[in-house]
Chain A
């Protein structure tokens, strides 16, 4: 079983729509969780950390479900500029390794 799994998509949505997708992780001892964004042919950049209580940053909402071992990302009022690949990242404490998912591609169309 992969350490971090994501639906590769693509999720094709119109501008203004809401889009949401999940990421599952295999190790129940995982400590911290992140969403990174990667634009085409660019480097990944931190979008947001994911906290136990869930957190929001503008139009982006991240949730953590430890019981079912998944995190989610919801994007409201999608913009064309939200088109990117969203990488789920999971960190197991006392390990130097951050485990990355393969990414979920979102395409927002006009």
Chain B
């Protein structure tokens, strides 16, 4: 496999469920990101991991919990979500975070989440 792969592609969950989104990159990158995309809104950065260390938590509610066990894998654990959390969740990677020229993003296809 090449690029950035995300699973599942679609997820429907109730407000009391616990689920996880998975992202894997095969590009040898050292930075991974979670973005949220809602209709007609700009992409919102949620979390950044650079060399497995979390470097950005963009005031995201604690019902979203990221995990980065190594530079190639990134998870987003979901717990007691709200209907307004329904959105497309995009994972991305770059060579390195925070350095001009090495921060071009490659995105995964996204996980479309619906919270009932």
What is the chain B residue whose CB lies nearest that of A4?
Answer: B42
A102 touches B40 (CB 8 A): yes
A91 touches B103 (CB 8 A): yes
B105 touches A98 (CB 8 A): yes
Chain B residue contacts of A103, Cβ below 8 A: 42
Quote the shortest CB–CB distance from B71 to chain A (angstroms): 15
Please tell me which stretch of B11-19, B48-56, B77-85 contacts chain A, meaning at least 4 of its Cβ atoms lie within 8 angstroms of it: B48-56
A102 touches B42 (CB 8 A): yes
- The interface on chain B, measured as residues whose beta carbon lies within 8 A of the other chain's beta carbons, has a size of 23
A96 touches B97 (CB 8 A): yes
Band of interface residues on A: 20 to 34
Question: A100 at interface (Cβ–Cβ under 8 A)?
Answer: yes
B103 touches A43 (CB 8 A): no
Which B residues are within 8 Å of any A CB, using their own CB?
Answer: 40-43, 45, 48, 50, 55-56, 58, 90, 97-98, 100-101, 103-110
Q: A43-B108, A97-B58 known; 11 other A-B pairs, CB under 8 Å?
A: A34-B104, A36-B105, A43-B90, A43-B109, A43-B110, A45-B107, A94-B98, A96-B48, A98-B105, A101-B42, A102-B40
Which A residues are within 8 Å of any B CB, using their own CB?
Answer: 2, 4, 8, 31-32, 34, 36, 42-46, 49, 87, 91, 93-103
Sample (8) of A-B pairs whose CB atoms are under 8 Å apart? A43-B108, A43-B110, A44-B107, A46-B106, A94-B98, A96-B98, A98-B45, A102-B40
